Amino acid sequence: MANPLFPRAAGVLLHPTSLSGAHGMGDLGAVPALLDWMTTAGLTVWQVLPLVPPGSADSPYASPSALSGNTWLLALSGLVADGLLSEAEVVPSPTAEDRADFAAARALKQPLLHLAAERLTRDRQHPLWPRFAQYFSEQRWAVDAGLFQAIRQQQGQTAWWQWPEPLRMRDPQALAQAREELADEVQRYVALQFLFDRQWRWIRGHARSRGVQIWGDVPIYVDADSVDTWSQPDLFQLDGHGQPHCVAGVPPDYFAAKGQFWGNPLYDWSAMARDRYRWWIARLRRTLSHVDVVRMDHFRGFAGYWAIPHDAPDATFGAWQQGPGLSFFAALRRELGELPLIAEDLGVMDEAVLQLRLDSGLPGMKVLQFAFGDTAKNPFLPHHHEPNSVVYTGTHDNDTALGWWLSTPEQQARVRRYLGPVEDATIAWRLVETAYASVAQTAVVPMQDLLGLGSEARMNVPGVTAGNWTWRLPAGVLTPELAAKLRELAATFDRLR
């Protein structure tokens, strides 16, 4: 049965860091051109990765703040338009455009972002000052996140559990002293969050004017060294010193023979239930202020999660523990109404997970790269798709369609039996056609597959910490010809809106 929140449509998966930009990485300045091209291509869903500040190895799935925005995405041109920077101060980066260079982007952007924030916070005659002052008084999470980052910097970038005990334990007197000593740094952090929200609000308005929904992504876990664990340690499985009893990961699966040792702290779901899941509700409410639909990462963790002893050598030493189940989604629905959520129901599935998705009413994910590895009973094969789902050729964790095809020769015969004649040059487009033809309400295709790119364009390799997230869109590839081809495909399979 179709879900009324998800009309039949087609979309593209592409993170803003993968766009063009003259300052080391893609930024919000390139989004309007993308949205305009999507409109001509009949693409009405733009799916992004988490918009939070990236953590270790520049991953958007390991953030120091679950509620903050990634201010490295700020378009410097927008700050010039706001009168916070001059055109003379904004110069292009000498870095290459083919890969994101996050270190170079930070080195170039940090002094300019700090300068813009300081001009806003110190000039009470600036036109944006009243709105910033209101933001500062209302968004208390941003003040707490700013204080966390300021203390962390003061303490030599050490993890919060290594701070002096009064700060680690959030002693009121110690926090009051820190707020006074670090007031400028906290104001600067909040100012940049204000500017991120301001630019993103314009992006979202532009998307709506083009009839495009923005789909976001919420990682199930937060980073161990985050404002979330420091400010509310009782909601996590931590000892009195901030150290986890067990950590998150997954058992052996398609991606890793020894499973994945993520290392994130696990939630204390009993404590969260007693608190009526207020932390999660605030997190989703904040995310839904930026996007129209949220992909719930690692959905199976809400049914049962893999708990690994923190000192285990790898993820195979973990064990399943019971998650919050349907009561969690019922609590969300009471506070947020109908849930515009997608269940990332991939990985090791069992009956409990499948039943939770059905009971919660959330659409699941069908990934075509997973469809051809075994028998005709494979649930990812198109003849098993259902309307209340989203079909993908692959996700940010997969190789590109072409890379997958070339690396799995044992599956090629099964693909040809199912799809008909397929060669290296046509596999990506054949999977795109197959996704569009599915009965799944929404078809979302990574930009790399729309372009037919190989493994060099892969976004992420799970379990590998270096070299991910850096792919960028080559110049000049979003052509009118490709847009026309996609629009015709959308019309053929009733995906124009």
Retrieve residue 114's tokens: 């700090």
For the stretch 294-335, pLDDT in tens is 999 999 999 999 999 999 999 999 999 999 999 999 999 999
How much is the average pLDDT of 109-134?
Answer: 97
Sheet with 389-392: list strands edge to edge: 341-343, 293-296, 213-218, 45-47, 9-13, 442-446, 389-392, 364-367
pLDDT bin (cut points 50, 70, 90) of residue 253 is confident
In the 3-class helix/strand/coil scheme, how is 85-130 assigned residue by residue? Answer: CCHHHCCCCCCCCCECCHHHHHHHHHHHHHHHHHHHHHCCCCCCHH
How much is the average pLDDT of 360-382?
Answer: 96
User: Which helix (H) or strand (E) is 278 found in, with range?
Assistant: helix 278-287
Q: Where are the alpha helices (DSSP H) in 314-467?
A: 326-336, 351-360, 401-407, 409-419, 427-437, 447-450
Q: Residue 95: its pLDDT value, please?
A: 67
On average, the pLDDT of the chain sits at 96
Q: Is the pLDDT of residue 1 over 90?
A: no
Coil/strand/helix, residue 148: helix
Q: How far is CA 375 from the centre of its chain?
A: 32
Query: Which one, of 471, 464, 31, lies nearest residue 261 by Cα?
Result: 464
Query: Which one, of 99, 18, 129, lies nearest residue 448 by Cα?
Result: 18
Q: Residue 289: its pLDDT value, please?
A: 97
Residue 200 backbone class (left: φ over 0; alpha: ψ -120 to 50; beta: rest): alpha
For the stretch 342-358, pLDDT in tens is 999 998 889 999 999 99
Active site residues: 297, 344, 397
Q: Are 285 and 279 in contact (CB under 8 A)?
A: no
Q: How far is CA 159 from CA 154, 174, 220, 223, 264, in A?
A: 11, 17, 21, 11, 14
CA distance 56 to 106: 14
Q: How far apart are the first and last CA of the chain?
A: 19
For the stretch 20-59, pLDDT in tens is 888 999 999 999 999 999 999 999 999 999 999 999 899 9
